[in-house]
Amino acid sequence: MSYLLPHLDSESAVNEALRKEEERVVVLRWGTDSDPTCMIMDETLYRVAELVKNFAVIYLVDITQVTAFSEAFKLTDACSVMFFHRDKHIMVDMGTGNNNKITFVITDKQDMIDIIEVVYRGARKGRGLVTAPKDYSTRAYN
């Protein structure tokens, strides 16, 4: 499904996407299109993209092409999903201990919509950290 979602293929494209979006949450999936974990996550993201388009935009970033953010965001996992609002990183407490990004697969469409919606509502209120609607501590493997 990765071919159906927009890709950001350079550092400047990522920066532009983060800067230009004033109202919606920017969801970035970091990884590679050929990774099995990313393929599953991309399918979920594709299934929710149309449903969240009023308050979120989803982009995929290939970490082998765009390496500038790997160290800053500690992108060591095969697949990571991060959230930004008005060029500010929004962290999500999912009960996993890693609030910076989602590093495990979410296959449930409604779960992903709920997470994005919580991020949007919190970000609009100026919060830099929001709490996920569910505890995912038993789902994370990190």
User: In this predicted structure, what is the pLDDT of residue 1?
Assistant: 57
Burial 78-106, CB ≥16 within 10 A → b, else e: bbbbbbbbbeebbbbebebebbebbbbbb
When pLDDT is averaged across residues 98-102 and rounded to a whole number, the result is 92
Q: Do the beta carbons of residue 49 and residue 113 sit within 8 Å?
A: no
* 3 vs 52 pLDDT, higher one: 52
3-35 pLDDT, tens digit per residue, is 799 999 999 999 999 999 999 999 999 999 999
- Please state, in angstroms and rounded to a whole number, the distance separating the CA atoms of residues 116 and 81: 11
Domains (ranges, CATH) in the chain?
2-131 (3.40.30.10)
Q: Which of 79, 57, 67 has the alpha carbon at shortest distance from 9?
A: 67
- Please state, in angstroms and rounded to a whole number, the distance separating the CA atoms of residues 72 and 85: 18
User: In this predicted structure, what is the pLDDT of residue 2?
Assistant: 66
What's the pTM? 0.93
- Please state, in angstroms and rounded to a whole number, the distance separating the CA atoms of residues 129 and 12: 26
Burial of 37 (0-12, 13-18, 19+ CB in 10 A): middle
User: In this predicted structure, what is the pLDDT of residue 90?
Assistant: 98
